[in-house]
Amino acid sequence: MNIAITFRQMDATEAVKGYATEKVAKLQKFLRQPLQGHVTLSSQKTLHMAEVDVHAGGEHYHAHEESEDMYASIDKVVDKLERQIRGTHSSHKKKGSDRASDHLLPNEPEE
């Protein structure tokens, strides 16, 4: 697992760096391959933005979020990525399923 963090237009603090690393690292449990992550944190006046790219094998996920609090932005962007990853995995499972409902014929109209 490799997570790089970039700070733009703001001071780099160990607290924010550690928080972002911890949150992005938790995404590993949803992935089959080791993740490569890049987190970009930036600030413009009162707006704090978090942008995350995650690569795991051939899969790529990207999300960005902004709010008035950096910690909230990080939480929101990680939630978005988690939903993307879970959605990708559940769609792969559905493609291979052989459900009986897929083979039912539509009801004929009543007379």
Residue listed under structure tokens 């879970």: 86
Q: Is residue 103 part of a domain?
A: no
Does residue 104 fall inside a structural domain? no
- Give 67's contacts (C-beta < 8 A, 6+ positions apart): 47, 48, 73, 76
**Does residue 22 form part of some domain?**
yes
- Whether 13 is in a domain gets the answer yes
Find the CATH number of the domain harbouring 40.
3.30.160.100
**Domain range enclosing 50:** 2-92
- pLDDT tens string for the chain (111 positions)? 899 999 999 999 999 999 999 999 999 999 989 999 999 999 999 999 999 999 998 999 999 999 999 999 999 999 999 999 988 877 666 655 555 555 555 565 555
pTM of the model: 0.79
User: Do the domain assignments include residue 45?
Assistant: yes
Whether residue 15 lies inside any domain: the answer is: yes
- Locus of tokens 């539509």: 106
Residue 32 lies in a domain: yes
- Residue 92 CA: distances (Å) to CA of 58, 95, 97: 14, 5, 9
Residue 35 counted as domain residue? yes
**Number of domains observed in the structure of the chain:** 1
